[in-house]
Structure 1
């Protein structure tokens, strides 16, 4: 078998684009997607091109690159990206590709450098991407200015870093302004990552997000999580009980007194923020419901802040409590393989072993992530069967999944309509 083969007629990208558009246009509302959306390599390539190649993606936290020269890297499909704190204090984003012969510049997940130096031939770049040195062998007429690093769009707000590989990314200003406002009490310039984990789930990335967007499965799957988490976060939820509504009213009054935002904010189906109580008497997502960190975040005066839930499609959900926060990032690796990274944040002055213990802090979500991994992988195995056909979502329990699938379908259709097909090859 040839290592690289041209696409055959029925593998042609233009045909795949047309078929994808037709499936989305003809899909039944409130049903799961047709099988190819979860396991087809050509459709996965379109996901990477039209969703992960064009939308704003959660990349990491500004606290991970706090000083000049600190950098972090990530892989968005076949596109390695580097984020670096520049001499000006701003976060800069570049394709992690040397302009000489294309080698990756930075091969570690994180680090600190004075300049960006390619390990292959030592081409050297300033932290703002300008090429500074290419050696004398390039000739006296070589124009350094013509070979700076190729930038990627970067936006920061509330300690979050978002990137987009698109030439013209979609608007994000309203969400970023609100994110900054909601995270002001946390003083995100003064937090740190206490611990992080990454797991690879053998399933399509959309199944990871679908699983997150509903708690229909929680009673049967997440005993650790349900020690603290309410199954819903909106008093308009048809399942919301009178006791929950009374608890919400009480907590919202307390949060108002502390000048802490809590109102539900939506930005289309892409972004959602809301602060909602944990179970009555519970203040943190720990096994006993008590703080995982003795030093509270930012200017907060009470650990009893419920959970500020932040959704950013296509690849992040987050929980911010009084004592610590948990952020999640999803990056597709293949049609049936997805990387899920979880980071636990605390006040930067909190001391491990004194103010917090990482084992206590991460126990609930380590268990929950593994449970969700098993659920999503079994979901994938069933979808791969010839017996699979799109099934109905519950409008009561799975409205969040419906919103996600509708968002995905709308963005895919729009991006497909605005794209010019490019030559592609598949590896076999």
Structure 2
């Protein structure tokens, strides 16, 4: 497979309620199309606001060949720029994260302010105008403490997302949380397999013993409108809504993002091995400890869990046709003290176990797909509606972008 037409042919050949054709999971051409026509045109989750708490804090993000700096300005605003000096193109920031009062290119010391403007360039002559050589701007938006970037010339509208995020995520006050821990792992599998694996719990009972201590694997809780086909889900939603705590299932018209609040099993309240809270300080204005988890996905690269005692963000970044980076960040109350209000191992162990179990699952999935014996198989309509929804979104969105470019 070597061309856009080949990729389009594979997209169009996909059977409804079936996994994707082999080439879309494994070929360089499909990966290139994914990066160019999807990842470079959609809003991408880059970091939580808690990772950039002060002016000069920055993270770097890599999307295919694009390197981007996301930095907190002196005015408190998070901005994103191409990580390419306007002199001769050198990367300015090579670290994945750091702090700097100014952005200084290490090659010839061209110096940029945190708003991207060029402050100093040595011996460039009297006719040189610094105002014409600021860093290339990338769309950047902070939504309820979550920072998104977009490389497109015109970014998709995100007004509805901001409105719903204010309702569902606002009570968790993400902008005033702090990073308790962050882990990054590399999974030897295509990014779509990583996302697909997250979109179902068909595999949970047999693969995730730690997670299943508290997390219910009933697909109706996360896939049904208002979770009304589940008594447990319906009762939880009614309890939350009565407390003015939004919980009902909502998905945007393009199906790029979704919010739903689900309960934990029995009387458990968090992702811990004993089901009790991992952090003693409740976050934001969450009305009760047993608030369950607000599950929020945003395609193509994140799923997130908002609890009464913590927030977990999961960021997916493609590294190649069969390599994907997954970064998990645990956020807690900004005044919570490790060793006093929470134990770090107890806070993180469930998802460290679960992430490693998922890594093994998707790597075996990729190996099997690479085999000449692979043929797209049917999804379970009872268990894999979320996978089908994601794959439908992927095929529809990539095809639309490819045709319109």
TM-score by length of 1: 0.91
Residue in 2 that maps onto 1:122? 109
Counterpart in the other structure of 2:188: 202
Residue-by-residue CA offset, 1:364-423 (whole Å, 9 max, x unaligned): 11111111100100010011111111111111111111111110001111111122xxxx
Residues in 2 aligned to 1:241 and 1:300: alpha-carbon distance in whole angstroms? 21
Q: 1:55 aligns with which of 39, 42, 48?
A: 42
Matches within 5 A, 1:63-78: 63-78=50-65
Match of 1:135 in 2: 122
Tell me whether 1:415 sits opposite 2:401 in the alignment: yes
The answer on whether the counterparts of 1:64 and 1:193 sit within 8 Å (CA) in structure 2 is yes
What residue is the counterpart of 2:157 in the other structure? Answer: 171
1:51: Cα distance to partner?
Answer: 1.2
Question: Does structure 1 residue 107 correspond to structure 2 residue 89?
Answer: no
CA distance in 2, matches of 1:236, 1:121: 53
**Change over 3 Å in CA distance of 1:322–1:399 after alignment to 2:** same
Q: Give the corresponding residue for 2:363.
A: 377
SS in 2 for 1:51: helix
Name the counterpart of 1:85. Answer: 72
2:339 counterpart of 1:353: yes
* C-alpha spacing 1:130/1:34, structure 2 compared with 1 (3 Å): same
User: Is the aligned partner of 1:252 residue 2:237?
Assistant: yes
Extract unaligned runs of 5+ from structure 2.
Answer: none
1:322 aligns with 2:308: yes
What SS does the aligned partner of 1:298 have? coil
Partner of 2:85: 98
In the TM superposition, what are the counterparts of 1:391-410 in structure 2 within 5 Å? Answer: 391-410=377-396
1:423 matched residue in structure 2: none
| Change in 2 beyond 3 A, CA 1:398/1:190 | same
Please identify, of 87-96 and 254-263, the stretch whose mean Cα deviation from structure 2 is larger: 254-263
State the alpha-carbon separation in 2 of the partners of residues 241 and 42 from structure 1.
39
Partners of 2:404 and 2:231 in 1: CA distance: 48
Do residues 224 (structure 1) and 210 (structure 2) align?
yes
Q: CA deviation at 1:82?
A: 0.7
Instruction: Tell me if structure 1 keeps the 8 A contact 2:255–2:393.
Output: yes
State the match for 1:4 in structure 2: none
> C-alpha distance in 2, partners of 1:232/1:130?
52
Quote how far apart the aligned CAs of 1:111 are. 2.0
Residue deviations 1:110-165 (CA, integer Å, cap 9, x gap):
222221111111101111111111112x2221121221100111111111111111
Q: What is the alpha-carbon root mean square deviation over aligned residues?
A: 1.8
2:26 aligns with: 39
Question: 8 Å contact 1:234–1:276 — kept in the other structure?
Answer: no
Structure 1 match to 2:132: 146
Asked if the contact 1:157/1:177 (under 8 Å) is kept, the reply is no
SS in 1 for 2:337: coil
Q: Give the distance between the partners of 1:45 and 1:119, measured in 2 at CA.
A: 30
Distance 2:287 2:208 in 1: 30
CA distance in 1, matches of 2:190, 2:223: 28
Task: State the SS of the aligned residue for 2:21.
Answer: coil
Report the alpha carbon displacement of residue 294 of structure 1 after superposing the two structures with TM. 0.5
Alignment match of 1:262 (pick from 237, 242, 247): 247
Distance 2:168 2:222 in 1: 21
CA pair 304-221 structure 1, distance change in 2 beyond 3 A: same
Shift of 1:27: 2.0
SS of the residue aligned with 1:152? strand
How many angstroms apart in 2 are the aligned matches of 1:206 and 1:309? 19
> Does the 8 Å CA contact 1:247/1:280 hold for their aligned counterparts?
no
Corresponding residue of 1:155: 141
Match of 1:182 in 2: 168
Whole-angstrom CA distance in 2 between matches of 1:247 and 1:335: 40
